[in-house]
Chains A and B, each alone.
Chain A
Amino acid sequence: MERIPILKMGDCLLVTIQVDMHDRLATTLQDDLTERIASTRARGVVIDISALEIVDSFIGRMLGNIAAMSRVLDAQTVVVGMQPAVAITLVELGLSLPGVSTALNVEKGMALIGRAVGKAEGTNGGPET
């Protein structure tokens, strides 16, 4: 069965969506990703959708769900590289993904996660402990 690869980079997971998303693929990705976050104890997830040209409300909702699930598993999600047409479509559908962080490209998304993780560890490992 067709699967979307999940790459591990440090304490970050990188998901690059290169094919047209259909609903079954999306639910499989949800399962695989939550599985991997739990097993690798990743702190961040970068989803690169720069090759995605068509979205519908289901895919939009799925992106929001993945972000919420990762947060529960203590990993921050950044969606990167969204195409203008996709952004317009999602806004018109009323899905402005309020809980999801975004960045222009993978590099900036990684930097964003690096900062967020560093900050979180800084507060945990503060002068008190």
Chain B
Amino acid sequence: MTPKSTNRLGEIVARHERELVPEWVEQQLAAETLRRDLVKDEELREQSQRFVQSLRAGLEATDGNLDVRGPAWSSTRDLLRELAHARSRQGFSPSETATFVFSLKQPLFDRIRSDLARDPEGLSDELWQTTVLLDKLGLYTVELYHEGREEIIIRQQQEMMELSTPVVQLWEGILALPLIGTLDSARTQVVMESLLQSIVQTGAGIAIIDITGVPTVDTLVAQHLLKTVAAARLMGAECIISGIRPQIAQTIVHLGVELGGVVTKSTLADAFAIALARTGRGVTKTAG
């Protein structure tokens, strides 16, 4: 019973493919939920055409099983992946993306009803089969949509990581490391490595760690900072911590963090002046 019914659905789709696609596209274009600002009519038409084709191919290739994760549906899955990833980048919502698949129900149901008007039992079977198939594909599209979003988030995290740990050379032998954003273990590791690498490359004797842009300092962050300072000292470079805001000074004392032996300054300018003095230099005014 089931194999026959699936093949019948495939036959219906194949028979009506020519007029099914334009009708479906018309309906999608007429729907209020369509984002005319994000997708072109031509693109939508092409996507709809390819989806119906792959649906027909999938129905023909399977023997009545509607397992959309099976090998027979791989071309449909590829198409949906491409579509969902593109739409998640373009800024569609998940429901707008899934509506693409679900909206095929209406034109397809119309075809099934007119073809099987004399066979109520077959009609209800086919409607059920179609619903199951399109629901599965729709839900799969939502999953793919989220997969696309995850990729974007991971890429942005990596970009942020790279952007947020610059080591700049202020003067010969003086490095500055302006830290911006919350420090966690992973970031501190990157910060530490890039600072130590720069010390080796430039042969700098003094490194200024500026924490003006660090919103909060807890015991963990303080410990990370102290580790960085200790590692730099082992390599023969001295560290100065600058940009400690009054609020953070209070927090450090309340937490009982011992910054023993580390020179701290309130601004980067003060720290730079100290660093220049340590390397036997100074700034003088030449005019005015």
B231 at interface, CB cutoff 8 A: yes
Q: Whole-angstrom distance from the CB of B81 to the nearest CB of chain A?
A: 41
Q: Which stretch in B16-24, B66-74, B190-198 binds the other chain?
A: B190-198
Contact of A87 among B203, B204, B205, B231 (CB under 8 A): B231
Contact of B234 among A97, A105, A109 (CB under 8 A): A97
Give the total of A residues in contact with B, Cβ under 8 Å.
20
Q: Which stretch in A36-44, A66-74, A88-96 binds the other chain?
A: A88-96
Contact indicator A102/B236 (Cβ below 8 Å): yes
| A residues 71-114 touching B (CB-CB < 8 Å) | 79-84, 86-88, 90-92, 96-97, 102-105, 108-109
Q: Is the interface of A mostly helix, strand, loop or mixed?
A: mixed
Q: Whole-angstrom distance from the CB of B279 to the nearest CB of chain A?
A: 12
A103 to B203, CA, bound (A): 10
Note all chain A residues with C-beta closer than 8 A to B230: 91, 96
Note all chain A residues with C-beta closer than 8 A to B234: 79, 82, 86-87, 90-91, 96-97, 102
Give the total of B residues in contact with A, Cβ under 8 Å.
18
Q: Whole-angstrom distance from the CB of A16 to the nearest CB of chain B?
A: 16
A90 to B232, CA, bound (A): 11
Contact of A103 among B193, B197, B200, B236 (CB under 8 A): B236
Note all chain A residues with C-beta closer than 8 A to B227: 91-92
Most buried by B among A81, A88, A96: A88
Interface string of B194-229 (1 = CB under 8 A from A): 001101100111000000000000000000000100
Q: Whole-angstrom distance from the CB of B200 to the nearest CB of chain A?
A: 6
Can you name the residue of chain A whose Cβ is closest to the Cβ of B227? A91
Note all chain B residues with C-beta closer than 8 A to A96: 230, 233-234
Contact indicator B236/A108 (Cβ below 8 Å): yes
Contact indicator B236/A104 (Cβ below 8 Å): yes
Note all chain A residues with C-beta closer than 8 A to B174: none
Can you name the residue of chain A whose Cβ is closest to the Cβ of B189? A88
Q: Which 10 A-B pairs have the closest CB atoms?
A: A84-B196, A96-B230, A103-B236, A87-B231, A104-B236, A102-B236, A87-B234, A91-B231, A82-B235, A91-B230
Where the two chains meet, the residues of B that have a C-beta atom closer than 8 Å to any C-beta of A are 192-193, 196-197, 199-200, 203-205, 227, 230-237
Where the two chains meet, the residues of A that have a C-beta atom closer than 8 Å to any C-beta of B are 79-84, 86-88, 90-92, 96-97, 102-105, 108-109
